[in-house]
Amino acid sequence: MSSPLLEVREISKYFGSVNALQSISLSVNAGEVTCVLGDNGAGKSTLIKILSGVFAPDTGQFLVDGAEVKFGSPRDARAAGISTVYQDLAMVPLMSIWRNFFLGSEPTKGWGPFKRFDVAKAKALTSKELRAMGIDVRDPDQAVGTLSGGERQSVAIARAIHFGARLLILDEPTSALGVKQAGVVLRRIVQAREMGLGVIFITHNPHHAYPVGDRFVVLNRGQSLGNFSKKEISREDLVRLMAGGAELEALSHELERPLLDNPIAEAQENA
Amino acid sequence: MSTLSAPPLKDERLSSTGWLTRTLRRPALGSLVGAIVVFVLFAITDSTSKHLWLSSTGVAAWTQQAAFFGIMAVPVGMLMIGGEFDLSTGGMTGFTAIITALLVGQLGWNAWAAIVVTVLFGALIGFINGYVVTRSKLPSFIVTLATYFALRGLSIGGVLLVNHGSTEIGVGTGTHSGMESAKAIFGSSFFKSPSLPSGFQTAILWFIAVTIIAVWVLGRTTFGNWVFAVGGDLDAARNVGVPVTRTKISLFMATSMAASLVGIISFTQSSNAVSEQGVGYEFYYIIAAVVGGCLLTGGYGSVVGAALGACIIGMAFQGVIYSGWDSSWDFTFLGIILFLAVGVNTVIYRRAMKARR
């Protein structure tokens, strides 16, 4: 079997005396989705920043295509085909979709002082790439700020793919979205996987992670609670693990009020 | 890209954004309507005996004023789209005229050499403005206000010092090398006729040229894309690799160099320069840009709109005279125009922002 697209082994990160991450290992293959789950403060953000080249890990190995790498900046990571779609999306709401799509990497034509933004090409490529992802925007001239949350995430994902990403790191892409919009984003994740990309899907929602994930890594307070393939864990176990298992059960006992045995019958009696 | 040559698939829902919606989304629309309304208004209120407003004399008069405002309003509008202000612009137009006048009149330089130095000086001031703003992260409002006061002091004190106690610098009666050709390019007129002996000012051609260049740069170049981005969302722009600092500094430099152009034009027209000329005009430029649909918070606007805004201001100044009103009403008139334009532009902006229905 070929080596995974990206693999980290036993990486740790310290901020002063704080142990932000301790001995985390995970891997993602091309055409697979690895989900990283964790509550607030579990170390997800630190992990993303290491994977996308913002921080270097203090200990442990970082391998791309089986070869150890050391990224000095996010630019290095991007050059290796690792593209991170952040929550803030790096898009300008007031600008049109096609202007955003190529922002910072605009196609040009012409020469010398007449070198210019190839607007026709930018518009055509934007439409083509969005359509290839099955994203249906009526008008590429539309401002990004007018798109729904799910559409915006979709455009950001399409942009990352267009610019040569082999591995997508998605930082909580569904967290601010309603059920329907989250579904749109989950569909994009599956599409990216089908296109042969590796995806690292960071979320705190096991119900979003389970249907699309091939592997699941659960973090809690900077430590790994386990690294499972889909066969090894059921949705219920994942939810329980995520929620802190026994802790949540105790909490629900405390919070739930005793229910009547049959509220409907009760209501009819009273009527 | 052979795939690109294939005819694009038609999305049947594209028809929902018809030409009317598209037109109504243009940020310059408010100023276009405003310009037409103001033009018609003054055609009605014109009280001159020969109805000068609609004659070539009238058009030459207001376009000349509009040109002086417009050469500045266009780069100021671009700067506003890029999310920054420049309050030193008005003072700069006067100060650069003084520099050219000093170099030619007092030091006897060739006019073209003086013009080159003046433009370079403008670039330097713009660079300083931009550098300080991007480095200190202070609001450009404050930084350029400081530049404005520094220049204003220098334009009085400095001139008094080198000019033997007079605030007016002329070139005198002698001939100065290059002055003839410089005047022909910057400070002369065209379309002279028996009915219009003074013709149209060349400043108008510069105004048109500046506007065309700005439209092209903003809409059709990579740099233009960056201008919208740095004004719309600075962090997002930085995240995707837009050279944010370079973009902003370039905008400040363009604005100050445009101020040098105005200074050069006004000096070559009159062959002299006076301290404090142009002081206070910075607000007219900002008004023109805002009337033209540039958002005060950046990221949205139009340079055509800013140019039309400058035309409205030019018409207001001239129209009030032709209508026989007291010129103090200029300001009230501009205040009302500004208020109405902002109202209309807000509607257009909201419409652009809710394209989905």
Q: Do B221 and A115 touch (CB under 8 A)?
A: yes
Nearest neighbour of A99 by CB, restricted to B14, B17, B228: B228
pLDDT 10s digits, B66-108: 999 999 999 999 999 999 999 999 999 999 999 999 999 888 8
**Residue from A126, A170, A168, A132 nearest A150 by CA:** A170
Query: How does pLDDT run across A200-256, given as a tens digit for each residue?
Result: 999 888 888 899 999 999 888 888 888 888 888 888 888 888 776 556 666 777 777
Q: How confident is the model at residue B173, as a pLDDT?
A: 64
Closest CA to A252 of A261, A243, A264: A243
Q: Which residue of A has its CA nearest to B25?
A: A142
Euclidean distance between CA atoms A93 and B5, whole angstroms: 30
What confidence tier does B356 reach under pLDDT thresholds 50, 70, 90?
Answer: very low
Helix (H, G, I), strand (E, B) or coil at A188: helix
The residue in chain B having the minimum alpha-carbon distance to the alpha carbon of residue A142 is B355
Contact status of A163 with chain B (Cβ, < 8 Å): no
What distance lies between CA B345 and its chain's CA centroid? 19
CA angle B302, B306, B311 (to 5 degrees): 145
Residue B6 in contact with partner chain A when CB distance is under 8 A: no
Say if the Cβ atoms of B233 and A116 lie within 8 Å: no
Residue B109: strand, helix, or coil: coil
Best mutation target among A135, A139, A142, A181 (most B Cβ atoms within 10 Å) is A139
- pLDDT by residue (tens digit) across B245-273? 999 999 999 999 999 999 999 999 988 88
Quick one: average pLDDT of A38-43? 82
The pLDDT assigned to B75 comes to 97
pLDDT of residue B10: 46
Contact yes or no for A147 and B11 at CB 8 A: no
Q: Which of A91, A119, A138 is closest, CB to CB, to B13?
A: A138
Say if the Cβ atoms of B222 and A94 lie within 8 Å.
no
Cβ distance of A95 and B232 shorter than 8 Å? yes
Q: What is the mean pLDDT of chain A?
A: 84
Per residue, what are the HEC states of A37-86?
EECCCCCHHHHHHHHCCCCCCCEEEEEECCEECCCCCHHHHHHCCEEEEC
pLDDT tens digits, one per residue of A155-191? 888 888 888 889 989 888 888 788 888 888 898 889 8
> What mean pLDDT is predicted for residues B12-28?
63
pLDDT over threshold 60, residue B11: no
Strands of A198-203's sheet, edge to edge? A67-68, A59-64, A6-15, A18-28, A223-229, A215-220, A33-38, A198-203, A167-171, A82-85
Q: How many angstroms separate the CA of residue B21 from the nearest CA in chain A? A: 12
CB atoms within 10 A of CB A61: 14
Where do we find the tokens 């569909």?
Answer: A187
Q: What is the dihedral of CA B258, B262, B268, B272, to 10 degrees?
A: -130
Say yes or no: A193 contacts chain B, CB-CB below 8 A: no
Cβ(A57)–Cβ(A50) below 8 Å: yes
* The pLDDT value given to residue B174: 67
| Cβ count near B20 (within 10 Å) | 8
Question: B17, B222, B234, B351: best mutation site toward chain A, by most A Cβ within 10 Å?
Answer: B222
Single pTM value for the model = 0.83
As a whole-number percent, the residues of chain A with pLDDT over 70 amount to 90
pLDDT for res B71:
97
User: For position B81, what pLDDT does the model report?
Assistant: 96
- Report the 10 Å Cβ neighbour count for B259: 35
Name the minimum distance, in Å, from the CA of A75 to any CA of chain B: 9
ipTM of this model? 0.80
H/E stretch holding B3 = none
Query: Of A134-138, B56-60, B125-129, where does mean pLDDT reach its minimum?
Result: A134-138
A55-89: pLDDT as tens digits: 888 998 999 998 888 888 777 888 888 888 877 66
CA distance A119 to B174: 53
Residues 6+ apart with CB under 8 A from B276: B91, B94, B152, B155, B156, B167
pLDDT (average), residues B216-233:
94
Instruction: Kindly state whether B240 is in contact with chain A, defined as any CB-CB distance less than 8 angstroms.
Output: yes
Best residue of B15, B225, B234 to probe chain A, by most A CBs closer than 10 Å: B225
How confident is the model at residue B43, as a pLDDT?
Answer: 93
| C-beta of residue A54 within 8 angstroms of C-beta of residue A47 | no
State the Cα torsion B91-B119-B158-B132 to the nearest 10°: 70
**DSSP 8-state assignment for residue B256:** H
Of B9, B241, B355, the CB nearest to A146: B355
pLDDT of B59 reads 93
Reference A103, options B233, B337, B300, B169; nearest CA is B233
Amino acid at the residue A46: T
- Fill in the DSSP letter of residue A165: -
pLDDT of residue B178: 86
Q: Highest mean pLDDT range out of A116-120, A137-141, B18-22, B346-350?
A: A116-120
Backbone angles phi, psi at B309, to 5 degrees: -60, -40
Flag if A146 and B356 touch (Cβ within 8 Å): yes
Please indicate whether, in this complex, the C-beta atoms of A146 and B236 are within 8 angstroms of each other. Answer: no
Q: Which of A66, A32, A47, A266 shows the shortest CA–CA distance to A171?
A: A47
The answer on pLDDT for B218 being more than 90 is: yes
Q: How confident is the model at residue B15 (pLDDT cuts 50, 70, 90)?
A: very low
Q: How far is CA A256 from the centre of its chain?
A: 33
Structure confidence at residue B14 as a pLDDT band (50, 70, 90)? very low
Question: How close A139 gets to chain B, by Cα (Å)?
Answer: 6
Q: End-to-end CA distance of chain B: give it in Å, rounded.
A: 34
Q: How confident is the model at residue B1 (pLDDT cuts 50, 70, 90)?
A: very low
Tell whether A124 lies on the interface with B, counting CB pairs under 8 A.
Answer: yes
pLDDT at A136 over 80: no
φ, ψ (nearest 5 deg) of residue A191: -60, -45
Please answer yes or no on whether A138 and B14 come within 8 Å at the CB atom.
yes
